[in-house]
Chain A
Amino acid sequence: MAVDRSQLPPVGADPSFTFPAIVHHTLPNGLRVRAIEHRSVPVITFVLQLAGGSGSDATGQEGLAALVADMVDEGTGSLSAIDVSDALARIGAEYDVDVGADATTFTLTTLARFADRGASLLASLVTAPSMRESDFDRIRQLRLDRLRQLKDLAPAVAERAFLRLVYGAHAYGHLPIGTDDTLRRLQLADVVEMHRARFQPSAGTLVVTGAMSAADLIEIAGRAFGSWQAAAAGAHVTTGMAVSAEFPDASARLAIVPREGAAQSELRIGHLSARRDTPDYPALLVMNAVLGGQFVSRVNLKLREEKGYTYGARTGFDWHKGLSPFSLQASVHTAATAEAIKDSLAELDAIRGSRPPTHDELTLAKASLTRGYPRNFETAQQVARAVAQLALYGLPDSYFAEFIPKANAVSEAELVQAAARYLDPHRLTILIVGDYSSIGASLETLEMGSPEVLPVPV
């Protein structure tokens, strides 16, 4: 049968999507357990999420939450750090810890037949880490060395400088790794104290996803984590303070971290924008998809496909419980720096009303967010991490099922309204990490005055 190439073939109705059932259970010690049966491959994933992350590092202690997380797999009981890695390898486990702004999340995936061994190892690490001085000393030094190396990595320099500009002294204003100064001052006692205060069953959610029934998953969780002792009644449990703090009220500015001879300029253009719990969240996601959240977006098509200034440009929200930054990110050819900034600013402004999304743009943005949605939940780990997000942001179990209709319901007017409300050209911070001596003159054409010259963050 010959193919009709005069038009694209029609696409059928979307397959129906249902998120698997999430079974709730709370252990007597207060640990919340979420169990989801997931039978494609005989593996099991544990995601243990504890409230509090780098966003609740106290002033002067930036980097502490990440240090605590790093110390967790440095030994437990009679096991040294090396023994821990060996025990993980013997059950073929993948272990990972992520320190976010609002939570610290441990993930362990192993073969289903090693479920109990994996769970009990994770429980020992998290609840009873050895916290030896010699390990602390080594781990802290490795982090200091890493910080030193980040000074040469343009995207890391840009990220650190941008966060500091938009958040000022606020605890969200640093990367989890902290700073050279604060890391040097932190002591093992600080780590022990934060672990005691933060690593409490009542501050945690354990998501277990794997190839067995939810009841079996909950039993495994109970066997491993049931003996985790809660702090004595009345003991102080901290889960972070970043959410409610005040934020600086910035006005538009241009700043540069000079990087002599750089082949490209690393750009960050944005400002603090919205919280994850905003009711405008679906509208903002659709808006971002039109603007710069996917390959076929205004910013990428302009800067990459039309102008050839960059390998790729994108925009996005870095969602936090508190006020989250929105930014455009791109690494552009040095000679095109000023032009790329102008094009970017024009796009950020246009979507606020002067060039609302066309019908096609709106349809495409929604489709790209919703029609392929089921593929986000293919593996046990994807499912477990998704459910942990529900716990982090206090979202209902029905969230994933409701996302598709909510995103599809966003109208053109709502999108423009959200853009107008949450994107403000008069408050944009424009940060460049690039070769100042070769682009300085061209930056004058932006008519923002001389850029503020910043040192490489340390």
Chain B
Amino acid sequence: MTPIELPYSKRTLENGLDVIVHEDHHVPVVAVNLWYHVGSKNERPGRTGFAHLFEHLMFEGSEHHNSGYFPPLQQAGALLNGSTNTDRTNYWEVVPTSAVDLALWMESDRMGYLLPALTRERFETQRDVVLNERRQNYENRPYGFALMALLAALYPPDHPYHWMTIGAAEDIRAMQFEDVRDFFRSYYHPSNASLVLAGDIDTGRAFDLATQYFGDIPGGVKPPRVSAEASIGRERRLLLEDRVELPRLYIGWHSPAMFADGDAELDLAGDLLANGKTSRLYRSLVYDQRLAVDVSGYQSSRELGGFFLLVATAAPGRSLSEIAAEIDKAIQALVEDGPSPAEMERAEAQAEAHFLYRLQTVGGFGGKSDQLNAYNVMRGNPGYFAQDLARYQSATAETVRATARRWLRYDARVVLSLVPRGQQVLALPGSESVSVT
């Protein structure tokens, strides 16, 4: 076995900011990665989409650099971006080693001094940009509303996973400039943030620079943890019409939260059921019987609770009912007999490889800096990488079987038939029509 490690050092500044450093001198770049523990889970019904819109505003300037965030960093050769999901918001720069100071100056200025630079005009423009992001990625995309409809049925209206991070269009339109201030004060401060410096930098210097740029920012009050429960005591069947050629079936279940017991097992179950040509459902649905043109599945690990999803698109002339029956057969076989020894061997080899591949880049989405922050924010332990891998290495055929049996039940799931417009008859029987806008 190849040793697979992600070493680091961690300190917490007096104002509560976690600082984590990882050295990797292969390429003369440094990754700066900053997580704020806020996402759409911190929103309320009627105010959805705010966390993500706010992320856009972080790129519009701060008090001491009162214009776009991109130009000075691109001028220095940086690559940069940010993203928001249900649980967290992250921002990152990958800069040449010579521009670390600049990146830290910029990140600390928008953490400490954002509000003086925010104008109503910038807010309104970004609101339009976000409405266009929503049109491009959801409204004008085939099958774009499916997950929105499925999650809305899987979680009750007051559960923060009831809506997707992009938010409802009417909520985005109704957003008030005045709300920006409260949101910033509640969530964007050192005690709700975690900073990673990874790459071509000495650990001592990295801590010194982090203290220098972020140490003076007032700590703020750590926001209370969000908690919410969800369960579904029956099978709900939904029908959604869209501008598509081929009907598609979505089946969603509640599943363990990120890193909770059973989370890794369901991840493995997703692979063996529906990921790639070796998976059981690809074999039966696409390869052998040609009922479907594609099939996919995954465990979505999230902070308040996960969901497990299987998706298959019907081949022309084949029905969603035929596909649903095959999927149920595959689940039945998994919960009764579990994975085969060959499937477990394959899963172990893939886990080792995937964890190793994850060590190839220092920055960006999913790079080493992003992973250290994920472990720190979600587990309070940047060193969780080793335990994370161990979860996969210690999974057995029996734990995968038992976990699948516990969660992938016929009587606690949402089954969504997405069909071409005007062809409701192609949905599974007993489906209730829903609409999303």
Q: Do A and B come from one complex?
A: yes
- Are A42 and B77 interface neighbours, CB within 8 A? no
- Are B353 and A92 interface neighbours, CB within 8 A? yes
User: Chain B interface: which size bin?
Assistant: 35 or more
Q: Which residues of A contact B72 (CB under 8 A)?
A: 8
* B155 beta carbon closer than 8 Å to chain A: no
* A306 beta carbon closer than 8 Å to chain B: yes
- Are A333 and B246 interface neighbours, CB within 8 A? no
Shortest Cβ distance from residue B330 to the other chain A in the assembled complex, whole angstroms: 15
Listed stretches A78-86, A178-186, A243-251, A421-429; interface member:
A78-86
* B432 beta carbon closer than 8 Å to chain A: no
- Given A41-B359, A89-B278, A149-B313: 7 more A-B contacts, CB < 8 Å: A8-B65, A11-B101, A17-B28, A81-B277, A85-B277, A145-B316, A149-B246
Q: Which residues of A contact B212 (CB under 8 A)?
A: 1, 3
* B293 beta carbon closer than 8 Å to chain A: yes
* B71 beta carbon closer than 8 Å to chain A: yes
Q: Which residues of B contact A42 (CB under 8 A)?
A: 2, 356
Q: List 19 A-B contacts (CB under 8 A).
A: A11-B98, A12-B97, A14-B77, A16-B28, A43-B356, A81-B287, A89-B346, A92-B352, A94-B357, A151-B245, A264-B136, A264-B139, A296-B70, A305-B68, A308-B127, A363-B75, A371-B96, A372-B29, A375-B363
- What separation, in Å, do the CA atoms of A206 and B266 have in the docked complex? 38
Q: A12-B99, A82-B287 are in contact. Are A374 and B28 (CB under 8 A)?
A: yes
Chain B residues with CB under 8 Å of chain A are 2, 24, 26-29, 63-65, 68, 70-72, 74-79, 94-99, 101-102, 105-106, 108-109, 113, 124-133, 135-137, 139-142, 200, 212-213, 216, 243-246, 276-278, 283, 286-287, 290, 293, 313, 315-316, 342, 345-346, 349-350, 352-354, 356-357, 359-363
- Are B360 and A43 interface neighbours, CB within 8 A? yes
A280-339 interface with B by 8 A CB criterion? 294-296, 301, 304-311, 331-333
- What separation, in Å, do the CA atoms of A149 and B105 have in the docked complex? 47
Q: Which residues of B contact A263 (CB under 8 A)?
A: 135, 139-140
- Are A3 and B105 interface neighbours, CB within 8 A? yes
Q: Which residues of B contact A262 (CB under 8 A)?
A: 140
Output the residue of A141, A142, A145 with the most chain B CB within 10 A.
A145
Shortest Cβ distance from residue A81 to the other chain B in the assembled complex, whole angstroms: 6
Q: A5-B109, A8-B105, A305-B125 are in contact. Are A367 and B77 (CB under 8 A)?
A: yes
- Are A86 and B346 interface neighbours, CB within 8 A? yes
* A379 beta carbon closer than 8 Å to chain B: yes
Q: Which residues of B contact A3 (CB under 8 A)?
A: 105, 108, 212-213, 216
* A406 beta carbon closer than 8 Å to chain B: no
User: Chain A interface: which size bin?
Assistant: 35 or more
* A24 beta carbon closer than 8 Å to chain B: no
- Are B78 and A372 interface neighbours, CB within 8 A? yes
Listed stretches A106-114, A168-176, A221-229, A445-453; interface member:
A106-114
* A126 beta carbon closer than 8 Å to chain B: no
- Quick one: which of B75, B132, B349 contacts A310, CB cutoff 8 A? B132
Output the residue of A17, A82, A146, A301 with the most chain B CB within 10 A.
A82
Q: Which residues of B contact A141 (CB under 8 A)?
A: 290, 315
A149-193 interface with B by 8 A CB criterion? 149, 151-154
Q: Which residues of B contact A373 (CB under 8 A)?
A: 77
- Are B76 and A153 interface neighbours, CB within 8 A? no
Shortest Cβ distance from residue A171 to the other chain B in the assembled complex, whole angstroms: 27
Q: Which residue of B lies closest to A93 (CB)?
A: B353
- What separation, in Å, do the CA atoms of A2 and B3 have in the docked complex? 42
- What separation, in Å, do the CA atoms of A373 and B70 have in the docked complex? 17
- Quick one: which of B63, B125, B127, B350 contacts A92, CB cutoff 8 A? B350
A47-96 interface with B by 8 A CB criterion? 81-82, 84-86, 89-94
Q: Which residues of B contact A6 (CB under 8 A)?
A: 64
Shortest Cβ distance from residue B26 to the other chain A in the assembled complex, whole angstroms: 4
- Are A378 and B128 interface neighbours, CB within 8 A? no
Q: Which residues of A contact B71 (CB under 8 A)?
A: 296, 364
- Quick one: which of B132, B142, B290 contacts A309, CB cutoff 8 A? B132
Output the residue of A138, A331, A370 with the most chain B CB within 10 A.
A331
- Are A82 and B277 interface neighbours, CB within 8 A? yes
Q: Which residue of A lies closest to B214 (CB)?
A: A3
Shortest Cβ distance from residue B200 to the other chain A in the assembled complex, whole angstroms: 8
Q: Which residue of A lies closest to B200 (CB)?
A: A15
Shortest Cβ distance from residue B172 to the other chain A in the assembled complex, whole angstroms: 12
Shortest Cβ distance from residue A293 to the other chain B in the assembled complex, whole angstroms: 11
Q: Which residue of A lies closest to B94 (CB)?
A: A375
Shortest Cβ distance from residue A360 to the other chain B in the assembled complex, whole angstroms: 8
- Are B97 and A15 interface neighbours, CB within 8 A? yes
* A132 beta carbon closer than 8 Å to chain B: no
Q: Which residues of A contact B68 (CB under 8 A)?
A: 296, 301, 305
- Are B96 and A374 interface neighbours, CB within 8 A? yes
Q: Which residues of A contact B79 (CB under 8 A)?
A: 372, 375
- Are A294 and B245 interface neighbours, CB within 8 A? no
* A377 beta carbon closer than 8 Å to chain B: yes
- Are B28 and A294 interface neighbours, CB within 8 A? no
- What separation, in Å, do the CA atoms of A261 and B78 have in the docked complex? 40
* A9 beta carbon closer than 8 Å to chain B: yes
